[in-house]
Structure 1
């Protein structure tokens, strides 16, 4: 797979490698986000030992690990019967010649032999710290990496020198891969999200509809069963989690709504939701003006755009997709796609706000998010407590230009947002896929900023 972005992570790894001391780095994140590609890019042209663990017997894992060490140091493969001997062998080699040592998919080693954590603790304390070498443990099981490697009960706790939580690309970073114009780029991102593997599966010489057909709806495609695969790598019984994700993706976002849709009681449901949050599959969202994260006004949303798309369109239509995938595409997905994309467009617009702040095109805001109360909702609200300043913004993914009516609607909503003093400074912004009615910009004062697709394109282009 072609390597994209991750320049900040690469720079940090390179600085650690150049330092005259040992490094113990933990890299983790969901599958398909590019962890292995990052490490391969870093190790390229540098002396290294790379071992990819697999789901197999501990004896086979040990033999392959030792074989990789011997190959990296151009040594004859020794007879080694235990992991403590293997790490002693590695320590001996590193004393004479420093290396980057990568153990990828480390959770598979833990599954086969939990004692490996204690062996590694001894290796880090007694051997690695006496060298300039770099040890990198990488894993796709977030739960295992956070509890067994980073957790305070782990033998390795407190020994890491750095950790990298690798997450999917935001829209700006994803555009380095998406070779569509800005409008179709946003639509495409609303389907693949920012997961590098998913982004690279689309052929951007084809239409978006053709990519949906071949890469999502085809039963032979990787993405057709991908969510089930992701859940099964983390969970032994994914059925209830699948039903919860489908409920959220189809608009049931409060705990009561999710319980009603799935038939899961509130007690067990709370634990399921907590697990899905820990796996980065859902997010708990509160109105931006609410200071308590435990607010009863919280909602749940799918954290990954592809999962939202899949649970909205693929999972409920499995039977029909098996028989008539083209009809599902033409009659179900494409007519409703604008509704799905409009929610993603709001997230893209929040990125644009931050980028405009960085470029001094908007005044600074410490917090940017969504706001709602009862029947009232504002797509984007930015807060600057130190200046008693608030930003209100609406995002419209519609086929018609935005005009004065949206200006009036947004102004009317401001009185419901209780934040700051009565003398607070109010700023406004409008984002529109189809631009604005003629003369609107001239009618608005300096407190308003308008963002059409051309400006959004400029602010999210990775080349700018």
Structure 2
């Protein structure tokens, strides 16, 4: 698979390696996000030992680890009885050669021996510290990495010299991969999201429709069963989680709505939602003007675009897809795709505001997000408390140019947002897939920003 971007992350790893001192780095993030690709790119042309852990017995894990070390120095693996022996063997090799040592999927090792961080603590303090080598622990179980490797209670706490919490590609970063024009790029990103593995499954010489049918709706395609595989890897009993994700993806976003759609009681549901948040498969939203901890107006969203697409269109139509995928696409997916894409377009527009702030084209805001109250909702609201300034933005993924009606409705809705003093400074932004009606740009004042497809494409 071609390696894309991740320049900041590579720079951080390379700066650590260039220190000529002992380094202990932690890399973690969701599955399929590109951690292994990043580390393999970093290790290219540098002397290294790369060990990928698996869900095996502790003895077999140690044997394979030692075999990787022995293979690097071209000698027979020694007999070892515990992890202390294995790490002592590694320290002998590091005494003679500067190496990068990567232990990938480290949580699998901890499943078999939760004392391993203590062994590594002693190794880092007593052996690695006397070398100029680099140890990298990598894992897909975010909760394990954050608690058992980075957490205050971990024996390894405070010893890392750096860490990377690898995130999905933003739309802007994904444009290096997605070679479509702007509109099709938005459509494509709304299906794959920024997860590296999903992005690179699409063939961008084909249309979005062809990619959806061949890479997702085909029973032989990797993405066809991907969410089930992902949940089975992370959870012992994924059925309830599958139903909760489907409920959220199909518009049941509050705890009461999710409980009603799934039949899961409020007590157990809370634990399921916490687990899905811990796995970074869903996220909890509150209105941008409300306290995230105290607000009762929370709702949940599927945090990954591909999972949102799969649970919206694939899971409810599995039987039909098995029989006639083309008909499912033409009759069910294609007509509903514009409405589906509009949610992703809102996120891309928010990303565009942040980029415009970085470029100095828009006044800075400390927070951006959605706002809703009762039946009213505004796609983007930006807050600048130090300046008593607020931004209101609406995003339209429609085939018709945006006109004066949206200007009037957004102005009216802005009065319902209770934030800041009565003399606050108000700014407005409109984002449109199909541009704006003639004369609108000239008729609005300097407090309004208009972003059509060309402006968005250039900005991103």
- Range into which the TM-score falls when normalised by the shorter chain: over 0.9
CA displacement 1:337-388 (0-9 Å, x = unmatched): 0010000000000000001111111111111111111011110011111111
Greater displacement, 426-435 / 106-115: 106-115
Does the aligned pair in 2 maintain the 1:143–1:234 contact within 8 Å?
no
Aligned match of 1:240: 240
* CA positional deviation for 1:292: 4.1
Aligned length: 460
SS in 2 for 1:51: strand
SS in 1 for 2:369: strand
Does the aligned pair in 2 maintain the 1:245–1:302 contact within 8 Å?
yes
Aligned match of 2:151: 151
Q: Distance in 1 between matches of 2:195 and 2:345?
A: 17
Determine if the alignment matches structure 1 residue 319 to structure 2 residue 319: yes
SS in 2 for 1:37: helix
* CA positional deviation for 1:149: 1.9
* CA positional deviation for 1:403: 0.5
Q: How does 1:105-120 map to 2 (within 5 A)?
A: 105-120=105-120
CA displacement 1:369-410 (0-9 Å, x = unmatched): 111110111100111111111111100000100011110111
SS in 2 for 1:27: strand
Aligned match of 2:300: 300
Aligned match of 1:71: 71
Q: How does 1:9-408 map to 2 (within 5 A)?
A: 9-408=9-408
CA displacement 1:190-244 (0-9 Å, x = unmatched): 0000001111110111111110011101111111111111111111111111111
* CA positional deviation for 1:153: 2.9
* CA positional deviation for 1:155: 2.6
Structure 1 vs Structure 2 CA RMSD:
1.2
Q: Distance in 2 between matches of 1:297 and 1:203?
A: 41
SS in 1 for 2:446: coil
Greater displacement, 21-30 / 32-41: 21-30
CA displacement 1:112-156 (0-9 Å, x = unmatched): 333323222221121111211111011112232223222333332
Greater displacement, 24-33 / 338-347: 24-33
* CA positional deviation for 1:433: 0.3
Q: Distance in 2 between matches of 1:117 and 1:366?
A: 38
Q: Distance in 1 between matches of 2:393 and 2:143?
A: 37
Does the aligned pair in 2 maintain the 1:141–1:233 contact within 8 Å?
no
* CA positional deviation for 1:81: 3.0
Q: Distance in 2 between matches of 1:268 and 1:294?
A: 21
* CA positional deviation for 1:291: 2.7
Does the aligned pair in 2 maintain the 1:25–1:163 contact within 8 Å?
yes
Greater displacement, 40-49 / 70-79: 70-79
SS in 1 for 2:216: helix
SS in 1 for 2:288: coil
SS in 2 for 1:312: helix
Residues 294 and 234 (structure 1 numbering): CA distance in 2 closer, same or farther, change over 3 Å? farther
Q: Distance in 2 between matches of 1:362 and 1:14?
A: 34
Q: Which segments of 5 or more consecutive residues in structure 2 lack a partner in the other structure?
A: none
Q: Distance in 2 between matches of 1:219 and 1:276?
A: 26
Aligned match of 1:441: 441
SS in 2 for 1:365: coil
Q: Distance in 2 between matches of 1:333 and 1:69?
A: 51
Q: TM-score, normalised by structure 1?
A: 0.97
Greater displacement, 186-195 / 284-293: 284-293
* CA positional deviation for 1:26: 1.2
SS in 2 for 1:201: coil
Q: Distance in 2 between matches of 1:386 and 1:60?
A: 58
Q: Distance in 2 between matches of 1:288 and 1:431?
A: 19
Q: Distance in 2 between matches of 1:297 and 1:114?
A: 39
Q: TM-score, normalised by structure 2?
A: 0.98
* CA positional deviation for 1:30: 1.1
SS in 1 for 2:400: coil
Q: Distance in 2 between matches of 1:357 and 1:166?
A: 23
Q: Distance in 2 between matches of 1:200 and 1:142?
A: 23
Q: Which segments of 5 or more consecutive residues in structure 1 lack a partner in the other structure?
A: none
Q: Distance in 1 between matches of 2:108 and 2:332?
A: 41
